[in-house]
Each structure stands twice: as structure tokens, then as C-alpha cells.
């Protein structure tokens, strides 16, 4: 299948009538229009919420508009609120806040937050608002009314700006309408605006990533051609030509550095979670031990036997708070979420490209090389005495990974690099097994001695391995959630092959972050003594964390997640949680053909 076929079917799926509001968005930014109209993506910011709340009030009153003939006959002045009319001639539908009518003449009035422009001492409506009125006028005219003028009422300043519906405005509007339809039908998302003051106020800025996309596309515009010819495969054709920006132009950080929501972990066995209002009530034996507002959490992780009421579950789904389930021992079972991202186009590209071996290999090489590089950086930064030979070998392996020609040999290189890295992992642990602090229940049978050990998983046989396993499990959960929220299917990967119950794409994305987030959280939990050897128990051959130790580990992990890091390409600082999302969105751009290469995250 090619992109041409894809675009036809995407246009087919669009409703017949274009809402006036959408044309308004098109005039504001064609890309915003494409996101909302074609891909069905919405996001809220203060502007949209305030607008929505105000309109909810207007919409509550719902009037009928008498027909044009009735109006003329009665001759009375009439105010009709919340009128929806459509026009078959133009394929438009308009919802009007208010229509004032007198005799045969009608005037649509639209309520807007904000302030009008002042030009030559007169109040002037913004272009987007003028377009919206023009659409309303066109729809009214097509329904037999006479409409020569519209009004925008700016709520903030309580001022009215009149807009004459003249020939020029009408033809501009029809022009915009034609362009909007063509854009939707092309199946190609328009490029982001360049350095536009509109972006900081746009509710989709965190999804669109305008400056980041620009920065990446200038980055790979030179490579792009050679890669396309090097891999003569059916890569996405949708890549758009970008206006070249200066490579030293600054990437604005338009989204906040950290999310203002917090994860909630429930780890005490036997808890029950109910809901009252928008508050989760966490109860232990009929006693409420914690209340958490749903609006303040971004995810809920449940470990072991914890009961969640249906009411709570529904409210969490409705608020798009994903729920992750783990066994008592930390094995990640899966997630529950709301309806998910409606955008099916990304998933379609994902499935298509997962069958293109050249694409999989190219991405896998970048991911593995990035991971090895980050492991090496970890040793350099944290090892008591970074071993020269290991660093050199890892450097070689990183380069080897960049050029190897099969996924199998890539797996081998990754394994070898991991072996060297874990051989020296102990050098990053800077406490003794017996941490010297007084203990009430005698010396612990454990130590954090990792020398001569290696990764052992099922079951983990020493404290360090137990911590690493838990960390990877929790990080896999976070990336599974990120995949869902971006619109991927987490189970179909490009490097990790599909296997039942394995979130392969989440694991792909996770590789470069393994050392930086998971290993680092483990090291800081041990080195800062948030966790000591007395936090572990031996059960048969396996070693696991006691409940209190596990809680401490979640705090260490979340502290790491909340650490600000500099993005190597964009130069700004965001926390790791935000970074995971940005990286997943950039991968989505590669799949839809907007970007040529995936910029793997590495730190210096």
C-alpha cells in the first residue's frame, strides 16, 4: 500500500460538513486544522477550557430561529441563542452563539474571550474570527436569510467588533475553505509554523512540537536523500519540504519542563480504593488512610492484592488516567485505560513499517547504539575509576552497532556490551554491603556486592538484581503508557520481535533509557541509602524487596524521572518523564514520514 491509497481512505472517512470552527482553526494554522479535523486530536489548555465553560452556559439556552419569511412578516426584533444551521451548497455547518434578527436582516454574534485589535481608532476583529463570521453568514444566506454584517463580542473587554460580510471577505473565506478541503484530502499534515507567536498559545503545542520538528528535519535533510537511496524501500512518502531554518536558530521550549501531575503507587496489600466526588479514597480495613484527587495524578500503579471499585475505575478511565497492574513481586501484567487515541493512521504506519526489514534494522541500530553509548556514559560518570579498556570496547561496540547488517548480530553486540557494562556495575555502587548503621535485628545476610555477578532475572538472586528487575518492570510500564498516549500499539516493535504478552515497542523505546533512568535510580537508591540491605528478604532462591523498601524504591525512581536533563538536539531542559513522551512523539513522526531519522536520546 502506498501513501496515496492511505490518503484517499482518510479523506473518505471525513464527515460531509465542515464545522465553521474548523475553518477558523485552518486560518489560525493549517497544521492545527489537520490534527483536529483529520486526526481527531484534541487537547485542552486554559483558553479552550475557559471558552468551553462559557459556551456551555450559552448552549444551555437553545432557541429556534424563525424562517426568513416569518421574520419579514412579523418585523419584530428577535434574539435567538445557540442556533445550528448547515449549508449543502458549501458543505459547511455553523453553530452560532447568537443571531439577532430584525425584519428580513439577520446578524450573527459570536462570543470570544480576549480582546479585539484596534486599527485606525476602530475595533477590528481578528482574521480567524472574521472567517468564522463569514462562514456563519454564508450558511445563513444559503438558508434564505439576508445577512450583511456579523459581530464578534469580546468578553474580556465587553466590546463589539462589527464585520461587514463583503465580497472580499466572502471570496477569502471560500478560498480558505477550498484550501482546507484540499489539505484534508491530501493526507499530508502541513508543516509546523516557523517560529510563530501562535504556537505558545496553541493547545496542541505539546503534540505538534513545532520547533522540535523543525530542528530535527534540518538535522536530517542532508542525510535524508542518501538514506532513501541506500535503503530502496517503501518508506513513507509523506515527508514535507520544510523551510530551512538556520541550524543555530533556537528551539523554544514551548511545553512545561515537567508534568504537573504525579504518579500514585499502591503497594500495601489489602488496600481498597473507592471514589467520592473526584477524590480517590484509599482505605485499609475500613479506615481511609489517604485521599488523592484524580485530577492530580497521571497514572496509578497497583502491586498485588488491591481492590479498585468500578466507580473509581470508570472515573480514572474517563479522566484518562491509566492504571497499571503488577504482581506482588513486581511483574508487570498490563494496563487499563480509557478509549485511547482515536488516530488510527499512526498505527497503520506502524504495522506497515514493522514489515519492512530495512526500516526495522535502521531503527534498531540507532536504538542499540544509543543504549551502549548511554551505558558507557554511566560508567564514565559514576564509576570510582572508569576502566579504560571497558570504555574503549564499548565505544567499538557502539560503532559496530551503527553499521551491522542484521538484527541477529545486533542482539549479539547488545549482549556483549551489556556483559562488559555489568561486569563493572559494582564500581558504581559506593556503599558497603553492611552499611555500617546500627541495626536492631542483627546483621543482614545480604550485601550489595555485585562483583563477579551478572544480570540474573528470574528469579533475581541478589539485592542489586532484584532492584534492577523492579526498575525495568516499572520503566516498561511507563513506556507502555507513553505508547498508548501517543497512539501506538505498544505490542508491535521494530527491534524486539512480537512475542505474546510483551510490549515490544515499549521495549524498543526503552533501550536507550535503561541505563539513564532505571540503572541510575537503582544506584542512587543504594548510594544514598534510601534502600539498605535490610530492605530485602530471601524467598527460596530469589531475593526480593520488603514492602517498605519497595516504597522507598518508587520514590527513588520517581525522583530520577523528575530530574531535568538537557535534550542533545534541542538544547532545552525537561524532566525524564517529559523526555519519554517527546521521544515517542518523534518516533511517530518518523513513521508518518515527517522526519527521516529517529534522534535517539543520549546524554553527554
Partner 1 sequence: MRNTFLVCYDIRDDKRLRRVYKTMRDFGDHLQYSIFECQFTPIDLAKCRHTLAELIKHNEDQVLFVDLGPTAGRGERVITALGQPYTSMDAPCYVV
Q: Report the interface residues with partner 1, using CB under 8 A.
A: 44-46, 49-50, 53, 256, 258, 260, 262-268, 271, 277-279, 282, 289-290, 292-293, 295-297, 551, 554-555, 558-559, 561-562
Q: How many whole angstroms separate alpha carbon 520 and alpha carbon 510?
A: 14
Check binding of 589 to ligand SF4 (CB under 6 A): no
Taken as a whole, the chain contains a residue count of: 604
Shortest distance in whole angstroms from residue 58 CB to ligand SF4: 26
HSE-CB at 495 with a 13 A cutoff on CA atoms is 23
Q: How many whole angstroms separate alpha carbon 512 and alpha carbon 60?
A: 51
Sign of the dihedral through C-alpha 191, 196, 197, 200? positive
Shortest distance in whole angstroms from residue 552 CB to partner 1: 9
Check binding of 205 to ligand SF4 (CB under 6 A): yes
Q: How many whole angstroms separate alpha carbon 474 and alpha carbon 462?
A: 19
Contact range with ligand SF4 by CB under 6 A, out of 13-21, 38-46, 195-203, 353-361:
195-203
3-state DSSP assignment of residue 114: coil
3-state DSSP assignment of residue 598: coil
Specify the DSSP element, H or E, that contains 542: strand 542-545
Assess contact for 53 and 168: CB atoms under 8 A.
no
Residue from 481, 560, 463 nearest 515 by CA = 560
Neighbours of 483 (CB within 10 A): 28
457 binds, among partner 1, ligand SF4, none (CB under 5 to 8 A by kind): none
Check binding of 346 to ligand SF4 (CB under 6 A): no
Check binding of 29 to ligand SF4 (CB under 6 A): yes
Nearest-5° Cα angle at 40, 204 to 340: 90
Q: How many whole angstroms separate alpha carbon 241 and alpha carbon 604?
A: 31
Q: Which is nearer to ligand SF4, 422 or 570 (CB)?
A: 570
Question: In this chain, which of 18, 165, 208, 308 binds ligand SF4, going by CB under 6 A?
Answer: 208
From residue 445 to residue 464, the character string flagging contacts with ligand SF4 as x (rule: CB under 6 A) and all else as - is --------------------
From residue 210 to residue 229, the character string flagging contacts with ligand SF4 as x (rule: CB under 6 A) and all else as - is x-------------------
Strands (E), 188-269: 262-266
554 binds, among partner 1, ligand SF4, none (CB under 5 to 8 A by kind): partner 1
Check binding of 196 to ligand SF4 (CB under 6 A): yes
Which residues on adjacent β-strands are paired with residue 154? Answer: 112, 159
Q: How many whole angstroms separate alpha carbon 114 and alpha carbon 508?
A: 45
Shortest distance in whole angstroms from residue 41 CB to ligand SF4: 10
488 binds, among ligand SF4, partner 1, none (CB under 5 to 8 A by kind): none
Question: In this chain, which of 31, 95, 577, 589 binds ligand SF4, going by CB under 6 A?
Answer: 31
Check binding of 27 to ligand SF4 (CB under 6 A): no
Contact range with ligand SF4 by CB under 6 A, out of 1-9, 69-77, 177-185, 205-213:
205-213
The contact set with ligand SF4 (CB under 6 A) reads: 29, 31-32, 192-193, 196, 198-199, 202, 204-205, 208, 210
Amino acid at each position: 500500500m502506498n501513501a496515496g491509497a492511505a490518503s484517499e481512505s482518510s479523506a473518505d472517512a471525513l464527515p460531509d460538513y465542515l464545522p465553521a470552527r474548523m475553518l477558523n482553526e485552518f486560518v489560525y494554522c493549517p497544521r492545527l486544522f489537520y490534527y483536529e479535523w483529520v486526526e481527531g486530536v484534541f487537547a485542552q489548555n486554559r483558553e479552550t477550557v475557559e471558552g468551553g465553560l462559557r459556551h456551555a452556559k450559552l448552549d444551555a439556552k437553545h432557541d429556534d430561529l424563525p424562517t426568513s419569511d416569518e421574520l419579514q412578516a412579523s418585523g419584530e426584533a428577535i434574539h435567538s441563542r445557540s442556533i445550528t444551521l448547515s449549508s449543502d451548497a458549501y458543505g459547511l455547518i455553523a453553530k452560532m452563539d447568537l443571531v439577532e434578527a430584525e425584519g428580513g436582516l439577520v446578524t450573527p454574534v459570536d462570543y470570544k474571550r480576549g480582546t479585539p485589535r484596534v486599527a485606525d481608532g476602530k475595533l477590528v476583529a481578528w482574521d480567524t474570527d472574521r472567517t468564522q463570521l463569514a462562514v456563519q453568514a454564508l450558511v445563513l444566506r444559503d438558508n434564505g436569510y439576508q445577512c450583511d454584517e456579523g459581530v464578534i463580542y469580546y468578553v474580556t473587554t465587553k466590546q463589539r467588533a462589527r464585520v461587514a460580510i463583503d465580497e472580499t471577505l466572502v471570496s477569502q473565506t471560500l478560498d480558505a475553505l477550498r484550501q482546507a478541503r484540499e489539505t484534508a484530502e491530501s493526507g499530508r499534515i502541513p508543516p509546523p509554523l516557523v517560529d510563530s507567536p501562535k504556537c505558545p498559545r496553541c493547545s496542541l503545542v505539546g503534540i505538534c512540537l513545532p520547533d522540535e520538528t523543525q530542528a530535527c528535519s534540518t538535522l536530517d535533510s542532508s542525510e535524508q536523500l542518501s538514506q532513501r537511496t541506500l535503503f530502496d524501500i517503501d518508506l513513507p512518502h509523506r515527508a514535507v519540504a520544510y523551510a530551512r531554518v538556520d541550524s543555530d536558530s533556537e528551539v523554544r521550549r514551548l511545553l512545561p519542563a515537567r508534568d504537573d501531575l504525579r504518579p500514585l503507587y499502591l503497594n500495601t496489600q489489602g488496600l481498597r480504593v473507592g471514589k467520592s466526588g473526584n477524590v480517590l479514597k484509599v482505605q485499609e480495613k475500613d479506615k481511609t488512610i489517604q485521599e488523592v484527587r484524580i485530577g492530580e495524578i497521571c497514572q496509578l500503579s497497583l502491586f498485588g492484592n488491591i481492590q479498585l471499585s468500578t466507580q473509581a475505575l470508570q472515573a480514572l478511565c474517563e479522566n484518562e488516567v491509566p492504571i497499571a497492574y503488577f504482581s506482588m513481586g513486581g511483574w508487570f501484567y498490563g494496563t487499563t485505560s480509557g478509549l485511547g487515541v482515536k488516530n488510527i493512521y499512526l498505527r497503520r504506519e506502524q504495522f506497515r513499517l514493522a514489515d519492512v526489514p530495512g526500516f526495522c534494522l535502521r531503527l534498531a541500530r540507532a536504538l542499540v547504539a544509543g543504549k551502549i553509548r548511554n551505558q558507557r556514559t554511566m560508567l564514565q560518570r559514576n564509576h570510582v575509576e572508569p576502566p579504560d579498556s571497558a570504555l574503549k570496547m564499548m565505544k567499538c561496540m557502539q560503532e559496530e552497532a551503527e553499521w551491522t547488517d542484521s538484527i541477529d548480530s545486533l542482539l549479539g553486540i547488545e549482549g556483549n556490551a551489556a556483559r562488559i557494562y555489568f561486569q563493572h556495575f559494582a564500581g558504581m555502587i559506593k556503599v558497603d554491603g553492611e552499611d555500617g548503621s546500627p541495626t536492631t535485628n542483627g546483621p543482614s545476610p545480604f550485601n550489595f556486592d555485585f562483583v563477579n555477578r551478572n544480570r540474573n532475572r528470574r528469579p533475581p538472586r541478589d539485592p542489586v538484581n532484584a532492584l534492577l528487575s523492579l526498575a525495568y518492570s516499572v520503566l516498561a510500564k511507563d513506556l507502555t503508557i507513553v505508547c498508548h498516549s501517543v497512539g501506538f500499539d505498544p505490542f508491535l516493535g521494530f527491534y524486539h520481535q512480537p512475542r505474546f504478552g510483551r510490549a515490544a515497542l515499549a521495549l524498543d523505546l526503552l533501550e536507550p533509557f535503561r541505563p539513564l533512568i532505571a540503572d541510575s535510580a537503582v544506584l542512587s537508591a543504594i548510594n544514598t541509602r534510601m534502600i539498605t540491605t535490610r530492605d530485602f528478604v530471601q524467598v527460596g532462591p530469589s531475593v526480593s524487596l520488603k514492602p517498605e523498601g519497595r516504597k522507598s524504591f518508587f520514590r527513588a525512581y520517581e525522583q530520577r524521572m523528575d530530574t531535568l536533563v538537557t535534550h542533545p538536539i534541542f538544547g532545552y531542559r525537561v524532566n525524564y518523564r517529559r523526555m519519554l513522551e517527546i521521544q515517542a512523539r518523534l518516533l511517530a513522526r518518523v513513521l508518518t514520514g515527517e522526519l527521516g531519522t529517529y534522534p535517539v536520546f543520549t546524554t553527554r
